[in-house]
Amino acid sequence: LDFSIVVVSVVVLALDALLPSVQWLKGLRVLRALKPLRTLTRSPGMMLVFRSVTLSLASMANVSIVVGLFFLIFAIMGVQLFGGRFWTCNDISVANKAACTGYFDDSGVLTERVWTNPYQNYDNVGKAILSLFIAVTLNGYSPAMYAAMAAPSNKDDQPKATSNGIIGFLFYAAFIVICAFCLLNLYVGVIFSEFSKIRLLSTAGSAFLTTKQQEWTALAKMVFRLKPLQRNNPPTNRIRLSCYRAVHTKTFNYVITTVIVVNIIILASTVYNESTAFTNAKEACNYGFTAIFIVEAAIKITGLGWRSYWRNGWNKFDFFLILMAIVDIGFTVIAAHGSQKLLRLLRIARIIKLIKGFKGLKALLTTLIISLPAFYNVGALLMLVFFMYSYVAVLLFGTIQPQAAITNHANFSNFGRAALTMFRVSTGDDWVYIMQQCGVRPPNGCGNPILSALFFCSFTVIITMILLNLFTAVVLENFEIQEEQAEWTLTPAALEEFQELWAEYDDGSGTIAPEQLQTLLIRTDPPLGLGRMATGRDVLRFVFNLDIPLVNGRVPFHRTVYELVRNVSETQIPE
The beta strands (E) that lie in 78-191 are given as: 88-89, 103-106, 109-112, 115-116
Specify if 74 maps to a domain: no
| pTM as predicted | 0.74
CA 214 to chain CA centroid, nearest Å: 27
Same domain as 416, residue 350: no
Distance CA 514, CA 307 (A): 29
Specify if 426 maps to a domain: yes
Q: Mean pLDDT throughout 289-300?
A: 93
Specify if 521 maps to a domain: yes
Same domain as 382, residue 275: no
Residue type present at position 132:
L
Residue type present at position 32:
R
* 351 pLDDT higher than 90: no
Same domain as 546, residue 455: no
Residue type present at position 425:
V
Distance CA 429, CA 433 (A): 9
For the chain, the 3-state helix, strand and coil shares in percent, each to the nearest 5, are 70, 5, 25
3-state secondary structure of 257: helix
Q: 493, 359 in Cβ contact below 8 A? A: no
Same domain as 452, residue 503: no
Task: Find the CATH number of the domain harbouring 497.
Answer: 1.10.238.10
Same domain as 397, residue 459: yes
Domain range holding 166? 81-183
Look at residues 387, 392, 430 and name the one whose alpha carbon lies nearest to residue 410: 430
pLDDT of res. 434: 93
Give residues with Cβ within 8 angstroms of 418, minimum separation 6.
Answer: 390, 391, 393, 394, 398, 411, 412
Look at residues 385, 406, 532, 404 and name the one whose alpha carbon lies nearest to residue 459: 385
CA 523 to chain CA centroid, nearest Å: 42
Look at residues 26, 36, 41 and name the one whose alpha carbon lies nearest to residue 398: 26
Look at residues 497, 511, 519 and name the one whose alpha carbon lies nearest to residue 548: 511
H or E segment and range at residue 512: strand 511-512
3-state secondary structure 96-119: ECCCCCCEEEECCEEEECCEECCC
Tell me the sheet residues that pair with 262: none
Angle at 277 between CA 271 and CA 278, to 5 degrees: 30
Specify if 66 maps to a domain: no
Specify if 60 maps to a domain: no
Largest CA distance in the chain: 107
Mean pLDDT of the chain: 82
Look at residues 140, 165, 197, 17 and name the one whose alpha carbon lies nearest to residue 81: 165
Q: Between residues 220 and 461, which one has the greater pLDDT?
A: 461
| Other beta carbons less than 10 A from residue 176's beta carbon | 17
Distance CA 435, CA 405 (A): 9
Look at residues 312, 267, 315, 316 and name the one whose alpha carbon lies nearest to residue 289: 267
Look at residues 538, 351, 454 and name the one whose alpha carbon lies nearest to residue 126: 454
Distance CA 566, CA 513 (A): 22
Specify if 507 maps to a domain: yes
Q: In 305-414, where does DSSP find H-type helix?
A: 306-311, 313-334, 337-344, 359-397
- Nearest-10 Cα torsion for 322, 325, 330, 331: 150
pLDDT of res. 206: 45
Distance CA 392, CA 435 (A): 14
Specify if 61 maps to a domain: no
Report the residue count for the chain.
575
Domain end position, chosen among 432, 466, 486: 486
| Other beta carbons less than 10 A from residue 21's beta carbon | 6
Same domain as 346, residue 244: yes
Report the range of poorest mean pLDDT among 29-33, 393-397, 430-434.
29-33
Task: Find the CATH number of the domain harbouring 274.
Answer: 1.20.120.350
Number of domains making up the chain: 5
* 200 pLDDT higher than 70: no
pLDDT of res. 34: 67
Same domain as 479, residue 377: yes
Same domain as 525, residue 429: no
Task: Find the CATH number of the domain harbouring 481.
Answer: 1.10.287.70
What is the DSSP pairing of strand 115-116 with strand 103-106? unpaired
Q: Between residues 549 and 456, which one has the greater pLDDT?
A: 456
pLDDT of res. 379: 86
pLDDT of res. 78: 95
Q: Between residues 200 and 442, which one has the greater pLDDT?
A: 442
Give residues with Cβ within 8 angstroms of 52, minimum separation 6.
Answer: 191, 194, 195, 198, 199, 470
Look at residues 443, 423, 425, 426 and name the one whose alpha carbon lies nearest to residue 434: 425
Residue 18's pLDDT band, with cuts at 50, 70 and 90, is low
Same domain as 508, residue 480: no
Same domain as 477, residue 498: no
Handedness of CA 322, 325, 331, 332 (dihedral sign): negative
Report the range of poorest mean pLDDT among 146-150, 273-277, 531-535.
531-535
Q: What is the Cα Rg of the chain in Å?
A: 33
- Give φ, ψ of 524 to 5 degrees: -85, 125
* 1 pLDDT higher than 60: no
Same domain as 482, residue 409: yes
- The DSSP call for residue 403 is B
pLDDT of res. 503: 83
Domain end position, chosen among 456, 486, 516: 486
Specify if 67 maps to a domain: no
Domain end position, chosen among 322, 357, 392: 357
Same domain as 326, residue 302: yes
Question: Assign residue 138 a region: left if phi > 0, alpha if psi is -120 to 50, beta otherwise?
Answer: left
Residue 30's pLDDT band, with cuts at 50, 70 and 90, is low
